[in-house]
Structure 1
Amino acid sequence: MTKFLAYAAPALMLAYGVCRWADGLDGDRHNGIAWAIGHAAFWVAIVLFTVLADRLRRAHPGPLTTIATVVTAAGAVLFLWVITHDLVSAFPNAPGLVQSLGPALFEVGLLTLLIRHVVAGSLPIWSPILVLIGFAAIPINLDLLPIAALIVGAGLTPLWLGRQRQPSASGPSRSPV
């Protein structure tokens, strides 16, 4: 399941980026099928990233991973509120703070879980770094979404290829943190 989630979530994020780009080709956004398909894909991507966060927590359970998973889920709920309003204009618009706080909590929680895997020796250090770079590109310019999705996907490659490193006997210990 982790392999699927680590592949599908960035792939749907890429679909959103491509649809967003296609929707803007006529110089107008928010009015076409590409807008709706893209936002629906992004909505599902956020849900899949949240399920991935729970899978990462299960691999290295402890108080830190539990808190990081809750932070990811809380951020995802706020993020989904914003996306839902974009899809359904009758749905209440999120306040500005929610629009900023949701993605930030989501990303901090997910990155914490990935870093926990690095500390445990099951992911390479470049994995969370690439995920951070990918997510950091999005607020710079939404047109960077396709590139951001590819970078996030590259960061999650060890998960979706199933090539997580196994901690060695002399490597980092599996602390309960």
Structure 2
Amino acid sequence: MRPLSIAAPLFLLAYGILRWIDGLDGHRKDGLAWDVGHVSFLVAMVLFGALAVLLAGRAVTGRRLARVAAAGAVAGVGCFVWVILGDLSEEFARRWPLPDALQVAGPLAFVLGMVVLLGLQVAAGRAPVWSPVLLFAGYAAISVNLDLLPVASLLILASTAPLARSAAWSPRTVPAVSRLRRG
């Protein structure tokens, strides 16, 4: 879990920076920065999918909700991967375009799934309350403008970094709900 919670947003950051570099000449696509950036994006999404599965497995309460959220996040990852492969290969994009409904539903399922999974970690006292908020803010920034990817990636990194610190969040930051349950 620890490497995934740091590596996934860092690969997303690499994609954002390489996307920015690729656009410096006024064009995007068909260059080394485009290709390496998209491979970084692909790796990031696969890592986020693995993180979603691990977070679902760590759920203390709401296990059924955690499984549904992880399924949504992984389905969203699948949609992202489909689009990335199409960006890397015009032939793939031409032969197997992602259906319009999935272009909207996939990213939404991913974001909502990850927010719920982080929320369950907050409820278990393993993450601060701002983790799901920052993850949502990061993806909201991306949906506003793809050029905000580097900033959004840093927000997402801040949202997942607490998962890397330890198996459980510090007792001083355990939400009130968790304290009530204990006592």
Is this a same-fold pair by TM over 0.5?
yes
1:84-123 superposed matches below 5 A: 84-91=85-92, 92-123=96-127
Q: Is the contact between residue 75 and residue 103 of structure 1 (CA under 8 Å) also seen in structure 2?
A: yes
Residue by residue over 1:144-173, the C-alpha shift from the partner in whole angstroms, topping out at 9 and shown as x without a partner, is 0000000100111211233741667x7254
Q: Is the contact between residue 71 and residue 106 of structure 1 (CA under 8 Å) also seen in structure 2?
A: yes
Indicate the residue corresponding to 2:21 in structure 1: 22
SS class of match (1:117):
helix
Q: Which moved more, 1:86-95 or 1:39-48?
A: 86-95
Q: Is the contact between residue 21 and residue 33 of structure 2 (CA under 8 Å) also seen in structure 1?
A: yes
- 2-side partners of 1:78 and 1:24: how far apart? 24
Return 5+ residue gaps in structure 2 as ranges.
Answer: none
Task: Mark the CA change 1:86 to 1:151 in structure 2 (over 3 Å): closer, same or farther.
Answer: same
Q: Comparing both chains, which one has the higher relative contact order based on Cα–Cα distances under 8 Å and sequence gaps of 6 or more?
A: 1
Residue by residue over 1:104-161, the C-alpha shift from the partner in whole angstroms, topping out at 9 and shown as x without a partner, is 1111111110001111221110111111111110010000000000010011121123
Task: Mark the CA change 1:121 to 1:82 in structure 2 (over 3 Å): closer, same or farther.
Answer: same
Indicate the residue corresponding to 2:160 in structure 1: 156
Indicate the residue corresponding to 2:8 in structure 1: 9
Which amino acid in the other structure matches residue 111 of structure 2? E
Which amino acid in the other structure matches residue 158 of structure 1? P
Indicate the residue corresponding to 1:146 in structure 2: 150
Q: Is the contact between residue 46 and residue 80 of structure 1 (CA under 8 Å) also seen in structure 2?
A: yes
Higher helix share: 2
1:116-135 superposed matches below 5 A: 116-135=120-139
Q: Which moved more, 1:75-84 or 1:93-102?
A: 93-102
- 2-side partners of 1:102 and 1:38: how far apart? 21
SS class of match (2:169):
coil
SS class of match (1:71):
helix
Which amino acid in the other structure matches residue 152 of structure 1? I
Residue 39 of structure 1 pairs with residue 38 of structure 2: yes
- 2-side partners of 1:112 and 1:150: how far apart? 20
Q: Which moved more, 1:65-74 or 1:54-63?
A: 54-63
Indicate the residue corresponding to 2:169 in structure 1: 165
Return 5+ residue gaps in structure 1 as ranges.
Answer: none
Q: CA RMSD in A?
A: 1.7
Indicate the residue corresponding to 1:60 in structure 2: 59
- Count of residue pairs the alignment pairs up: 172
Structure 1 consecutive aligned stretches of length 4 or more whose deviation exceeds 3 Å: none
Scaled by the length of structure 1, the TM-score of the pair is 0.91
Indicate the residue corresponding to 2:74 in structure 1: 73
